[in-house]
Amino acid sequence: MIIIYGFLLLLGIGLAGAMLKGTWSVTKWVFICALGIATLPISIPYLIIKAFRDGVKDRKLLNQVPIALKRQDFLEALRLIKEHNTEDLKATVELLTNEGIDLRALKADLKVRYTQAVEADIKSRLDALKGSNFIELSSLLRPLKPIYQQYILEEGDFPTPQKMVEAKFESKELELEKPRTHDEENPMYLVRRRMRDEFAGAIEI
Select the more confidently predicted residue: 56 or 48: 56
Confidence of residue 202 (pLDDT cuts 50, 70, 90): very low
Please tell me the least confidently modeled range out of 23-32, 122-131, 181-190: 23-32
E-strand spans in the chain?
Answer: 135-136, 174-177, 190-193
Per residue in 143-195, pLDDT (tens digit) is 999 999 999 998 889 999 999 999 999 998 888 887 766 566 667 888 888 87
Determine how many CB atoms are found less than 10 A away from the CB of residue 175: 14
Domains of the chain plus CATH, in order, are: 21-101 (no CATH), 106-204 (1.10.10)
Beta-bridged to residue 136, according to DSSP, are 190
pTM attached to this predicted model: 0.69
**pLDDT the model gives residue 7:** 43
Cα-Cα end-to-end distance for the chain: 106
- The helix-helix angle for 40-70 and 74-84 (nearest 10°) equals 170
Distance from chain centroid for Cα 30: 39
Which of 128, 110, 120 has its CA nearest to residue 191? Answer: 128
DSSP assignments along 142-166, one per residue: TTHHHHHHHH-SSTTSS--HHHHHH
What pLDDT, on a 0 to 100 scale, did the predictor assign at position 198?
46
- 89-121 residue pLDDT tens: 899 999 999 999 999 999 999 999 999 999 999
The average confidence (pLDDT) of the chain is 77
Give the orientation angle of helix 89-98 with respect to helix 74-84, to 10 degrees: 120
pLDDT at 203 over 50: no
β 174-177/135-136 pair status: unpaired
Give one word for 47, left, alpha or beta, with left for phi > 0 and alpha for psi -120 to 50: alpha
Decide if pLDDT at 25 tops 70. no
**Dihedral of the alpha carbons of 149, 150, 154, 155, in degrees to the nearest 10:** -30
